[in-house]
A and B are shown apart, each in its own frame.
Chain A
Amino acid sequence: MLQIRIHGRGGQGVVSAAEMLSLAAFEQGRHAQAFPSFGSERTGAPVVAFCRIDDRDIRLREPIMAPDVLIVQDPTLLHQVDVFQGLQPEGYVLINSKRSFGELGLAEIEQRFRRERLVTVPATEIALKHLGRPLPNAVLLGGFAALSGLITLDAVAHAIRAKFAGRVAEGNVAAAGEAFDFVKKEMQEMADAQAD
């Protein structure tokens, strides 16, 4: 079972991101369960949402305390919430930021986890470009598809179109595609740097 935890702030579409991720997994024929952490969903307040993906019926209903994947929609949470709590040793981390892990003060995280699974992507900037609004949620799912290969970009696009319609959907699909390419490029550069 793959367990994903998404951190963000009220208004950034944290819950929608988990829901879209479950839709993408379903599109690929998998079982998926998405649910919010409930309650504190006020604009700007820290919000957590969860998604489980498996090849069989998912019965577990507890919050995800030991995620395989972390998606952080707002880097200002890094020093307010212990977002890395319980992250599995082989885990993936995707953070919405223009800055690198080192620049974000996360050198210690870089050492503790697999470097090639830790990526930042400027999702807010990409969203502003395609949507005119700073909504990073769907964009980051494109980045996650590139980082992990665990869902396809096509499935992400399908999920976005299931959740949104018209220009909003197409803007998000384009933005997710750009994030996908950005992360692929960043991973290639990281691999090249390691090869040197």
Chain B
Amino acid sequence: MLKQIEGSKAVAEAVAMCRPEVICAYPISPQTHIVEGLGELVKDGTLAPCEFINVESEFAAMSVAIGASAAGARSYTATASQGLLFMAEAVYNASGLGLPIVMTVANRAIGAPINIWNDHSDSMSQRDCGWIQLFAAHNQEALDLHIQAFKLAEELSMPVMVCMDGFILTHAYERVDMPTQAQVDGFLPAYEPRQVLDVNEPVSIGAMVGPEAFMEVRYLAHAKQLTALERIPQIAAEFQEQFGRNTGGLVRGYHLDDAETVVVALGSVLGTLRETVDELRRDGQRFGVLGISSFRPFPLAAVRAALQGAKRVVVLEKSFSVGLGGVVSTDVRLALSGLQLQGYTVVAGLGGRAITQASLRRMLLEAQAGQLPALSFLDLDWRIVNRQLEREAQVRRSGPIAENLLRDVGTVASKVG
């Protein structure tokens, strides 16, 4: 049924239709509306049986999810930003133990400086934690990915993170097609654990493993992720058959066939990129877009196949490895090993900086003309950067950077965008 609804609310309803038995969460912007929505559905009895557990921290949230999942319950949590960092140790435990927890990450920047706005730094910081990471381009996909995620997680006995852009998606009201409970029940079988804490058949979960088998346990996690590379597109196809919508999968191409310059990205910026590329194509410019839906496992072969016909590849990412440059672009480069392609990394939208069609258009035309540096920062305000650099060159006690830059920028309340 078509509904005009907030992204967070849509995700909450979709998660509820997956019938989780334990939800534990600690609120943090911009994830809050999701768990509030689920809390209401548990309280009013719509989602039953389900235990909603208020915990004292994100560390506890993931720890409770681990306990619940090990006891055989379908378990869900959600977080963002510092919350994800705070639970990091338990995040690694969940994947190391092979527990199929599903977690929404409402993507948000990491401080300091403290910043509640969107970028991908949080989930990227957990890139190597062993969780599957799926990225939603719009709210319909965010909703659909959660249903696909439970199926994938439980089949493989491996946790899945569904990443959706904080505020840009979580707080956006838009049209979504809400599935029925019968449809979701038909798609998602009951949870059948590979391992479970059962008093009738006692086992322990979480043994200490020394040098004799640690690498093998790790390799088996990688082998599972390689299986996920096959299962993710299959599950997307099964989903399409059941629900009539083509969402999820490994990668999603847009106008790739004859594209000379392809821009690669993740998440909600794909919408603005597609608009921009359509406009450039009306002017006769051959651009294309490649969306990466599955960041872990990283679909090396699919990315290579999608990009090998292009002359230039621009990776536009909302993440930044300080001291290196791109995070996503490093992986894309690996996929393109041996191909003679001009590659550019564009870091954009950090800490909620708006990514506009006008800036994207300018940047893409620069790439096409071979004028883009290998690493660039979309709409970076060089004026305030250079002022700070001058200040630091002039005096030893130049003071805190964030405060200095805010003074240079002046009042932001009067600005519209």
B-binding residues in A (CB < 8 A): 5, 18-19, 22-23, 25-27, 31-40, 45-46, 48, 58-63, 65, 80-83, 85-86
Contact = CB atoms under 8 A, between A and B. Distances in A.
A86 B358 CA distance: 14
B172 interface: yes
B41 to A, nearest CB: 18
Interface in B259-287: 268-269, 271-272, 274-275
Given A39-B116, A59-B272, A61-B168, A22 B414 contact: no
Given A38-B117, A39-B117, A61-B271, A32 B175 contact: yes
B417 to A, nearest CB: 4
28 contacts: A22-B4, A23-B4, A23-B173, A26-B2, A26-B175, A32-B173, A32-B174, A32-B175, A34-B173, A34-B174, A35-B171, A36-B167, A36-B171, A38-B30, A38-B352, A40-B412, A40-B413, A59-B272, A60-B271, A60-B272, A61-B272, A62-B355, A63-B416, A65-B356, A65-B416, A80-B413, A82-B416, A83-B416
B238 to A, nearest CB: 24
Contacts, number: 92
Of the listed residues A5, A39, A40, the one surrounded by the most CB atoms of chain B closer than 10 A to its CB is A39
Interface residues of B, number: 31
Interface of B: 2, 4, 6, 30, 116-117, 138, 167-168, 171-175, 268-269, 271-272, 274-275, 352, 354-357, 412-417
B406 to A, nearest CB: 14
A59 B252 CA distance: 15
B413 A62 contact: no
Contacts of B416: 5, 37, 48, 63, 65, 81-83, 85-86
Contacts of B271: 58-61
B167 to A, nearest CB: 5
A18 B172 CA distance: 10
Contacts of B354: 62-63
Contacts of B174: 22, 31-34, 58
A5 B417 CA distance: 10
Contact of B275 (A25, A59, A81, A83): A59
